Amino acid sequence: MSWSGGGNSPWGNPRPGGNPGGPWGSPPPRPPGGGLGGPGRGAPDLDDLIRQAQEAVRRWLPRGGAGGRGIALLAVILVAIWGASGFYRVQPDELGVVLRFGAFHRTSPPGLNYAIPWPIETVTTPRVTRINRVDIGFRSAPETVPGVRQGVARDVLAESLMLTGDENIIDIDFAVFWRIRDVGDFLFNIRNPEETVKSAAESVMREVIGRTPIQAALTEARAQIEQEVRRGTQAIIDQYRAGIEITQVQMAKVDPPAAVIDAFRDVQRANADRERMRNEAEAFRNDVIPRARGEADRMVAEAQGFRDSQVARARGEAGRFAAVLAAYTQAQDVTMRRIYLETMEEILRRSPIVLIDDRLQGLMPFLQLDGTRPPTASRPVVPPAPAVTTQPPQAMNPQPARPGVVR
């Protein structure tokens, strides 16, 4: 190099005689046959190196009595810079966690805060209001724009295939949403929060699906499954004291395996037809059975009404007979005459009236007076015997009918 054999030294003034000085000034005389850098030279002396470093520091400091004040001023400036480095800002969606010598000390709210600079205190600012998402059974496309995912999700069969309670295989993709609830537990009790949430949610989902039939899991039980998985995952996370809150479990896809989905859909259609026919039969039964029951109740009611009417009529007739008997025991003649007249009135009311002329021979011309059908026989109509067989007393003296008139 240009300064190795002469000229100015890059760190100091040239030595008398034109030889460059060492990097910190004039080096001591080298022993013969030895020195730094040459072949066969010995190791450098540590005391010489320390002395050269001290001389270099004194060269940069002010000379005279101002040396002490300069050192103090430099120290004050360094301390001020070190102290000013303790200011830090916490964003609105973050929470400051201050660690003193690596241990949790306190938390700081959003805004401008101060902590003792390193190495005494360090600050971590996790996002406590952010809702994090863990996909299980699939891997969604990355977010090219914040909040927007572009691309096709990739299915992970090792996570999505599960066994149902009726020993069927089902393909379930779901997502778990969580946020930080306790910053201290979140930072110091778990190492990988996403893997912890994923493992806990997948195990709980397999447990819930393992006791649920496939038909219920595909249709009406999805909301119930989501709530059970959320509660079960939260219970496991609380046991770990992870400081995480599970906000939602959302099932994205619940289908049979792709290899048998066509056959499963055929079975579903057959089940739907079975349910439809069963519903139609239930509707027909619900229409016919109440109608038959109503008809049976009507017939029973009519029979009971007829029974009651007949019983009442029989009781009335018995009462009337008892009343007539009582009257007959008190006045037999009058009662017998009244019974005879009432019986004859009843008989004659139902019998046709026929007028016969006894002067005609071989013919029986008649005149129908009451509009009833004439008797079919050519002989006179004999009235039926009266209801009472007892002969009326002679005092009654019934008048016989006129000749030629038969009733």
345 against 15, higher pLDDT:
345
Helices (H), 45-104: 46-60, 67-84
In whole angstroms, give the CA distance from residue 233 to residue 189.
17
Tell me how many domains the chain contains: 4
What is the reported pLDDT for 32? 46
Q: How confident is the model at residue 378 (pLDDT cuts 50, 70, 90)?
A: very low
Residue span of the structural domain in which 96 resides: 70-128
What is the reported pLDDT for 105? 80
What is the reported pLDDT for 407? 42
Stretch 244-250: mean pLDDT, rounded? 93
* pLDDT(200) > 70: yes
Q: What does the pLDDT look like over 279-294, one tens digit per residue? A: 999 999 999 999 999 9
Which among 233, 244, 169 has a CA at the least distance from the CA of 202? Answer: 233
Stretch 197-221: mean pLDDT, rounded? 91
The token duo for 185 is: 């537990």
CB 345 within 8 Å of CB 383: no
pTM of the predicted structure, to 2 decimals: 0.49
Indicate the range of 146-150, 290-294, 340-344 predicted with least confidence: 146-150
Asked whether residue 266 falls in the same domain as residue 289, the answer is: yes
Q: What does the pLDDT look like over 84-111, one tens digit per residue? A: 888 888 888 778 888 888 888 888 888 8
Q: Is residue 405 part of a domain?
A: yes
Asked whether residue 375 falls in the same domain as residue 292, the answer is: no
Residue 106: strand pairing partners: 98
Asked whether residue 185 falls in the same domain as residue 281, the answer is: no
Q: How confident is the model at residue 168 (pLDDT cuts 50, 70, 90)?
A: confident
Q: How confident is the model at residue 302 (pLDDT cuts 50, 70, 90)?
A: very high
* pLDDT(258) > 70: yes
- 196: domain CATH number? 3.30.479.30
What is the reported pLDDT for 4? 40
In whole angstroms, give the CA distance from residue 333 to residue 99.
133
Could you say which of 231, 256, 281 is where a domain stops?
256
Q: What does the pLDDT look like over 384-406, one tens digit per residue? A: 444 444 444 444 444 444 444 44
Which among 236, 241, 171 has a CA at the least distance from the CA of 197? Answer: 236
Asked whether residue 163 falls in the same domain as residue 231, the answer is: yes
